[in-house]
Amino acid sequence: MKALVYETANTIENFPIERREIADPTVRDGDVLVDIRAIGINPGEAYFRQVRSAEPGGYVLLGFEFSGVVAEIGRSVEGFRVGDRVFGTGDLFRDGAYAERLAIDHRIIAKLPDSIPFDQGASLAVGAVTATEAMFRDQDALPAGVKTVMIIGGAGAIGSLGTQVLKATTSAFVIATASRPESREWCSKMGADLVVDHHGDMPAQLAAADIHEVDMVLSTAGTAANLGAIASLIRPYGHIAFVDPVPPLDLGPMGPLGGKAPSLHMEMMFTRIVNNYQPERQGRFLQKLATLVAQGHVHPIMTTRLEGLTVETMKTAHEMIEQGRTIGKIVIAL
């Protein structure tokens, strides 16, 4: 099969990814083999391309988000048949979706309704899984007492789908942050009840709306830089969820968070599959998400569609990601 791979991590200026012919993936007993129809592009992939090199003699095949058609099923797979339309996430420790075919554990994917085009379907899984796990953890509801949620970075994939999932499944009041007119408009379109500028004085902006504290903060980027504002806004015993890497935090009683005693929620989308910890819950969530999309309660977030599994389209996608101004999701259709 054809795939976009690289050997040595490098910058966007020295883009290392090249198109090669490689062997089809091995299908394990619990896998489905998927003919890829579209790929969602994520910031984590651009990050890995810069820092993660292959083992000697090997290659790195990225791609954490996809849609496609089941071409083969493993011996222990239940609930899927050849020909099913599916979507889902990749696996951190297996070859990814920048290829014509992907072998993936059937427990972390779901069927894609006929009403959802493949390119739109490829925009859903990563943002929705990440946001929902960050806020709901491994439960089916928000923590008790959470009625107001602030999402820092509301126009990206995590913020876009996190806002929609909250509005579709809870009664939470959602505050999103965005700094540009187009990203503010997008956050409102996603369903945010209030949009504020994360480059401004966030506590003052919320106070102007007669909001003086929030129950939960989901920080998708810039957590360290915004920690002072987060500490000011979070209520005592509130919840702070973050998805970006942060430097060591002062968690002592005299630190910025000490007086509030909040719960800190780390999120890593691959936790379930890497640890084999109830991975089937991810598949069930994605199936619920697909139903919400088919019913019109959640909308796909593809805003840029590129065509073809080529080095040129992938470099364009990575360049856009690294500019840090992406709204919604970049998708490459095969």
Helix (H) or strand (E) holding 189: helix 181-190
| Domain shared by 328 and 198, yes or no | no
Name the domain boundary from 243, 266, 289.
266
Query: Following CA atoms 135, 138, 139, 144 in sequence, which dihedral angle do they give, to the nearest 10 degrees?
Result: -50
* Among the ranges given (88-92, 193-197, 258-262, 284-288), the one the predictor scored with the smallest mean pLDDT: 258-262
149: containing domain: 127-266
Whether residue 200 is found in the same domain as residue 169: yes
What mean pLDDT value characterizes the chain? 96
Query: What CATH code is carried by the domain that includes residue 68?
Result: 3.90.180.10
pLDDT value of position 254: 67
User: Is residue 248 domain-shared with residue 134, that is, in the same domain?
Assistant: yes
Number of domains in the chain: 2
Comparing CA positions, the residue from 163, 192, 196 lying closest to residue 179 is 196
Check whether residue 261 and residue 275 sit in a common domain: no
CATH label of the domain that carries residue 244: 3.40.50.720
Q: 298 and 198, same structural domain?
A: no
- Kindly state whether residues 141 and 106 are assigned to the same domain: no
Asked if residue 188 and residue 74 are part of one domain, the reply reads no
Specify whether 245 is located in the same domain as 290.
no
Indicate if the pLDDT at residue 164 is higher than 90. Answer: yes
- Are 262 and 286 contained in the same domain? no
User: Of the candidates 232, 266, 300, which is a domain's last residue?
Assistant: 266
Do residue 131 and residue 241 come from a single domain?
yes
Specify the residue for token string 């903060």: 217
Average pLDDT over residues 184-198: 97
CB atoms inside a 10 Å sphere around CB 43: 20
Q: Tell me, what amino acid is at 293?
A: V
Residue owning tokens 């999103």 = 176
Q: How confident is the model at residue 252 (pLDDT cuts 50, 70, 90)?
A: confident
Whether residues 260 and 137 share a domain: the answer is yes
pLDDT at residue 26 in the model: 96
Q: Which of 249, 266, 283 is the last residue of a domain?
A: 266
pLDDT, mean of residues 44-59: 97
- At residue 251 the predicted structure's pLDDT band, cuts being 50, 70 and 90, is confident
Beta bridge partners of residue 331, listed in sequence order: 40, 305
Are 36 and 136 within one domain?
A: no
DSSP result, 81-116: -TT-EEEEE--TTS--SSBSEEEEEGGGEEEPPTTS
